Structure 1
Amino acid sequence: MKKAWGKKFFLFLVLPVFYFGWFLTYLANYYEHFRAIPENLYANSTSHYGCIYNFLFCNEGYHQEHDLCPNVHWSQRPQLYENLRQQLDSVVRVILKFPPRLGFIHHRRKIETSVRQTVQY
């Protein structure tokens, strides 16, 4: 009886939770780079500067800053953003209005860029 319970536990709990976790991870990663410009060092990913999201997810919204300096501790990313602000604001790059996990909402709207131009999808 224990064998059957172990298989059911794995099949109906562990496997779906594992799959859903990977799905959310890939979804967030997709929107962290959605509409980015790969050949531009300062625009090759997106950022979301919402304070609640960054508080809950260890400043993961500062993703462009993370891609520029991956060795900087997550708690120092806001300071890194301030240090790089002039370079980041000088290029057209995507700033998400919604967290990356909710990027599909942003996908249907106009994108906002750091130089405050609005680009139609």
Structure 2
Amino acid sequence: MARPVNRLLAHSLWDLIPVALGLAHFAFVLWLVAAFHDLSWWTYVPLALGYAISLSWSINSISHNQIHNAYFTPAWLNRAFDLLLSVTIGFSQTLYRDIHNRHHRGNSDLPGPDGKTIDPLSIYLRGKNGQPENPWAYTFLSFFRDDPKPIYNEMRRKRPKDVRWVQVEIYVTVAFYLLLAVYDWQAVLVLLPFWYLGQALSSLNGYYEHFGGNPDLPIAWGVSAYSPLYNLLWMNNGYHAEHHYRPKMHWTQVKAYHRQIARQQQEAGVKDIPLAHGLGFLLNHQKPDA
């Protein structure tokens, strides 16, 4: 186990960046509600779209990196930050950690003889004939079809302390948005469809992180996107093949690791795309010889 950087940070001083951005994201949500009646619709709607994008961004960068390498040395600080992320994003971070870890157990696997996948987020779960599901069905329906109960029940059997924290995160999140609704129910009502859009955009991002990957080859489980701007803004989430191959590697190290294994990836046919994962639908994914 790596030694903590100091009494506050567990891995790297660079983690101050996602921590600060997590706080800023929470402040942005508060401001969107507070400023609702002071802004014109021409101003507010683009900001609300930015809010939707920011949800996918936070889920796939700040929250994602916290899941794999918790930022803080003291456990109570990680619990507090998980609570902040839960409130900001709108769902329990602790429960999502188990869902995401199950995703890494299956790595977007193909259905078994029983028609089920290990990975509850697998793009192949509802596909046909070994093919991934249609990207738009996956993007816009995953929110309504995801069922966290089996994972929650497993957590209740194995880690009841975490279950209690899931409940705290859910209760605090619900209470927070009820208080916001008391303050300005119209603002919360307007933001609600954009909140759903943010969850859908996260599913879209996840789809193209695996569309074209090889579920049977560990080095090719993920699909990478090496756009420098994307990786700067999303804290190296684009190095997704590398991440699935070494999921405990810190987000600041995956770029160098890519250089180490680039030849192996090329030999294995690891796919990468030139745009951010969330823009993968703009690309032609047909192989040249297809």
What range describes the TM-score normalised by the shorter chain of this pair?
0.7 to 0.9
Distance 2:231 2:289 in 1: 25
Match of 1:114 in 2: none
Letter in 2 for 1:37: N
CA offset digits 1:39-96 (Å, max 9, x no partner): 1111111011111111111111100001111111111111111122232121112111
Unmatched 5+ stretches in structure 1: 112-117
- Distance in 2, Cα, partners of 1:18 & 1:79: 35
Could you say which structure has the larger radius of gyration?
A: 2
Distance (Å, rounded) in 1 between the aligned partners of 2:285 and 2:223: 15
- Residue number among 17, 20, 24 corresponding to 2:201 in the alignment: 24
TM-score if structure 1 supplies the norm length? 0.80
**TM-score, length-scaled by structure 2:** 0.35
Displacement, 1:109?
Answer: 4.7
Q: Could you tell me which of 256, 275, 280 is aligned with 1:98? A: 275
Please say if 1:45 is aligned against 2:222: yes
Which protein has greater RCO, CA pairs closer than 8 Å, 6+ apart? 1
Deviation of 1:22 after TM superposition, in Å, equals: 0.6
Q: Once the two structures are aligned, what percentage of the paired residues are identical?
A: 31
- One-letter amino acid of the counterpart of residue 100, structure 1: H
Higher strand share: 1
Aligned residues: 110
1:67 aligns with 2:244: yes
Q: Tell me which of 40, 47, 55 is aligned to 2:232.
A: 55
The question of whether the paired residues in 1 share the 8 Å contact of 2:241 and 2:270 is answered with no
Deviation at 1:10, TM superposition (A): 2.1
Whole-angstrom CA distance in 2 between matches of 1:93 and 1:119: 16
Letter matched to residue 188 of structure 2? F
Aligned to 1:115: none
Look up the equivalent residue of 1:104 and give its one-letter code. Answer: F
Structure 1's 41 and 109: CA in aligned 2 closer, same or farther, altered over 3 A? closer
Cα RMSD for the two superposed structures:
1.9
Instruction: Please state which structure has a larger fraction of its residues in helix.
Output: 2
